[in-house]
């Protein structure tokens, strides 16, 4: 990527914040992807639906306990960015992931909860459109250039 040319100081500050937010949220998005793959593979080995649901409940409880304090410290913009980065990593919206694992009712509840704060779990990542600058920053962070 060529160096970024900023029109004004405000754009430069926005870019700096984007870099900071991507560095903070990208590890969580990658962790979500790895956890989903791991959970899916394990669930496939379980014999019946009851044991699958029990495992999902246990996983949900453990994840909430481990990551809730850290995720509560994210700013609003970092939370919205995390939703988009999860979509980028998993190729599915956060809503679809929740719906697959927790059911449509609980996914709807969490989407409604996010909606109260102006976010949406159905937000999609558009690397060629409005999220082009985010994609640039993510690629640079992944390659260790920022």
Give pLDDT tens digits for 48-68.
888 888 888 888 888 888 888
pLDDT in tens, 72-91: 898 989 989 999 999 999 88
What does the DSSP 8-state code read for residue 2? P
Confidence of residue 136 (pLDDT cuts 50, 70, 90): very high
**Percentage of the residues of the chain whose pLDDT score is greater than 70:** 100
Domain ranges across the chain = 9-142
Task: Count how many Cα atoms sit within 13 Å of the Cα of residue 27 in the half-sphere of its side chain.
Answer: 7
The model carries a pTM of 0.85
Query: In the structure encoding, which two tokens stand for residue 10, read together?
Result: 């405000």
């Amino acid at each position: 990527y060529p160096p970024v040319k900023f029109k004004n100081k405000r754009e430069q500050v926005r870019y700096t914040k984007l870099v900071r937010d991507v560095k903070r949220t990208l590890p969580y998005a990658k962790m979500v992807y790895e956890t989903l793959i791991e959970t899916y593979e394990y669930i496939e080995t379980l014999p019946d639906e009851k044991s699958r649901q029990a495992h999902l409940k246990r996983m949900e409880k453990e994840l909430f306990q481990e990551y809730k304090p850290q995720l509560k410290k994210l700013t609003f913009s970092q939370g919205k960015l995390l939703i988009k980065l999860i979509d980028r990593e998993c190729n599915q919206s956060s809503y679809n992931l929740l719906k697959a694992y927790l059911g449509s009712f609980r996914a709807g509840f969490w989407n409604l909860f996010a909606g109260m704060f102006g976010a949406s779990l159905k937000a999609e990542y558009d690397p060629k459109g409005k999220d082009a600058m985010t994609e640039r920053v993510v690629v640079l962070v992944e390659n260790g250039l920022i």
